[in-house]
Structure 1
Amino acid sequence: MRLSFLEPLYSESGPFASVYLDTSRDVDQPDRAIALRWRRLREDLTRQGADRALLGVLEQAVGADAEVPGTHGQAIFAAHGSLVLDGELPSPPAHDSARYSTLPDAMPLVSQHLPEIPYLAVVVHYAGLPTAETHGWVRLEAEAGTWPASAVTPGERLQRRVPVAAWHHSAVRLGHELDAWARRTHADAVVVAGDAWAGNVLVRRLPHALRDRVVRVGGPSPTETRRALLEQQLSSVFRGRMAAHDRDLVNVFIGRRALGGPVAEGTAAVVSALQRGQVRALLLNQPRAPALQLWTGPRPTQLALAEEELVSCGVRAPREESADEALLRALVGTAAELVVVPEDELQLGGHVGALLRYADAGTPT
């Protein structure tokens, strides 16, 4: 998983206010419900030391996603009286929370982006008879997205309307158009729903490489433009899957580990590699290990298991932080990726491992 969407967050220095809030609109009087939730979080942030300017910025952002229908949430980050990042959550947080801390509490936001699978969703509408070649229309809708985040931040949507008599011919052109789109977005799958006959015509005319990635689904095909096309079906298709890109990284890690190649495993080895900027991708087991604390300095690569290590490197007044927060900042600061992998697929020593960009004599592997 690439973490570039967090770069605005780590371009600022702390302290940060990190707010996770249920802003669902499928309840009676949603504005009132959101205001009550925010009031409790505001009081919590005040007790933690957040000032009025910071609270005012957060209050302006809370509920600003009113145009997004259905269940969802917000992840809002602010620092020094300015909004730093406002992210939509495809699902409401397990519980509303607010923290005022040196590093942002970004892991819950990252968790809602996992497994970050790129896809194309395609719906083919046709209510006539396939034999009535001089009557009726076929309407195609397609949308690119990254599941599950695109549930509430849908991407560009393509719409085409074709006379049924021209559908066989037009499906060839549309197939090449979809293929180019899938290549551009690195789509792992093409999820196709709608009319069986018109859908079959389209699928048979897709280029072979794209046809192999087609997943046919049934069920309703909602067209709400503020939610993902085929949202309900996408959840069924992708739940429990890893993105193909992440799967490739896991396979590379397994191969390198078997051959004694450039990998790190265990907390101490991974932290040492992050200090050097060696990590290409960090692998974490799921379920996660118990919470761990790390010592940090002002720069992303200043993290350690012991305070003395940072002090010996010239860091003044290191701070003890959640390992999740320290690791995320290090990954974003060194342009490394994050892969969460089930423990039953790959068991990592200390629940953590890393693919390295390079190896040297001082790198534990």
Structure 2
Amino acid sequence: MNSTKIRDIVERDGPFASLYIDASHNTEDAAHQHELRWRAIKEQLSTAGADRTTVGLLEDALLATPPVPGRCGRVLIADRETLLADEVLPEVPPRDIVRVARLPYVLPLLEQAARQVAHVVALVDRRGSDIYAVDSSNAVVGETVQGEGHPLHKIRHGGGWSAWSIQHRVDEKIRRNIDEVAREVTRLAEQVRARVIIIGGEVTSRAALADALPAHGAEVVQVEAGARAAGADQTEFDEQVYAIVSEQAEQEQHSVLEKFATESGRPEGLAVAGLAATTAALAEANVDQLLINEAALGDRLVQTEPAPIHPVDEVQVAAGDTRAASICRADEALPVAALNCGAAITPVDEAGAIPEGVGALLRHR
């Protein structure tokens, strides 16, 4: 799910129920465990104040959808009218999270979106290529380019002029096939605004494809895995694709952190750190990029009404502050505020990278 779809969620009126749960189906008694887990979650939802309609929407989604084999997580978000999100997570959450609140809890969805770097994958041999592209919302666009037919095998013996002529035609067909594949890879890369193009398959063909691609913004990476043959095991190739895309996402996060550090080190730099300064920037719609480390942010609270958004003292809340209805968890309120003002959001993994777990790159001073 990309930030545009997440923004559609945060624009709705609450309350919301947000679930991030273990949805693994990798044991003989997985179905029974799934049912027991839902009973516990349902009880937590009721205790937290979720109404029957919201609970019913979540229950229908959880119990009616066939399980995904293996280990995975799942996120579901619903309000009183609609199931707003139902996504499989590639990793199991460290613990089940069940929240009922005035705002939706979308930060883990944003963390998943941050790992979804647009890319193109091409698996090539002399006859053509299997190609697919993945856009920034993790939607897959696929097409297979087969190339031109036969003969596509090299001549490995003598034969004079006739053999040379056949060999020349073979080389020309292979070159045209590679050029055709390069055009399709380029088209898909431009369509999804790819950050990286990953090429696997036959050694000579993938090198030729890399040379045939025009210069553009995407990084081109060749991997020594993958084959187009029917029934070929693509596990290693898929793992390498995942690793390359993950590395690209980490590089982009690192670039944002480097910019944040540079701006923070300048007297009039376009960066602020800490909860108070960040909420002040959000209140002024002056955030270009919100940086947030959920672990470091912890259970801090903010008040959203009356505006502007600002931190509150947990002691006041514990003492029964009359404004408690407008007090929210910062890890819920800050992403919502950032999305509402059109800011990008970068979840940060590096411990200690930003004070109090939150900071912002500003639009102006």
Match of 1:214 in 2: 220
Q: Which of 130, 145, 148 is the matching residue for 1:141?
A: 130
**Cα separation, 1, equivalents of 2:312 and 2:93:** 33
Q: Which of 184, 194, 207 is the matching residue for 1:177?
A: 184
TM-score normalised by structure 1 residue count = 0.77
**Cα separation, 2, equivalents of 1:251 and 1:67:** 41
**Cα separation, 2, equivalents of 1:255 and 1:269:** 17
Which structure's CA Rg is the greater one?
2
Deviations 1:239-285 (A, max 9, x none): 45536655554444344334423322222111100011110101235
Which runs of structure 2 are paired with 1:70-109 in the superposition (5 Å)?
70-109=70-109
Deviations 1:18-72 (A, max 9, x none): 1123334444465444333222211221222222222111112115553855443
Q: Which has the higher helix share?
A: 2
The code of the aligned residue for 2:277 comes to A
Establish whether residue 234 from structure 1 lines up as the match of residue 241 from structure 2.
yes
TM-score normalised by structure 2 residue count = 0.77
Q: Secondary structure at the match of 2:38?
A: helix
**Cα separation, 1, equivalents of 2:310 and 2:94:** 30
Establish whether residue 34 from structure 1 lines up as the match of residue 34 from structure 2.
yes
Unmatched runs of 5 consecutive residues or more in structure 2? 153-169, 314-321
The code of the aligned residue for 1:159 comes to T
Match of 2:51 in 1: 51
- Between the two proteins, the alignment pairs up a number of residues equal to 332
Unmatched runs of 5 consecutive residues or more in structure 1? 131-137, 308-314, 360-365
**Cα separation, 2, equivalents of 1:228 and 1:336:** 37
Contact 1:116 1:243 in 2 (8 A): no
Q: Which of 310, 314, 325 is the matching residue for 1:304?
A: 310
The code of the aligned residue for 1:305 comes to P
Match of 1:188 in 2: 195
Establish whether residue 322 from structure 1 lines up as the match of residue 329 from structure 2.
yes
The code of the aligned residue for 1:330 comes to A
Question: For structure 1, which segment, 242-251 or 108-117, has the greater mean C-alpha deviation from structure 2 after superposition?
Answer: 242-251
**Where do 4+ consecutive residues of structure 1 move more than 6 Å?**
221-224
Q: Secondary structure at the match of 2:249?
A: coil
Q: Which of 158, 165, 174 is the matching residue for 2:143?
A: 158
The code of the aligned residue for 1:50 comes to A
Match of 1:348 in 2: 354
Distance 1:74-1:285 versus aligned 2 partners, 3 A rule: closer
Match of 2:160 in 1: none
**Cα separation, 2, equivalents of 1:65 and 1:54:** 17
Deviations 1:58-112 (A, max 9, x none): 1121155538554433211111142122223122323333222222222222223
Distance 1:333-1:94 versus aligned 2 partners, 3 A rule: same
Match of 1:310 in 2: none
C-alpha RMSD of matched pairs (Å): 3.5
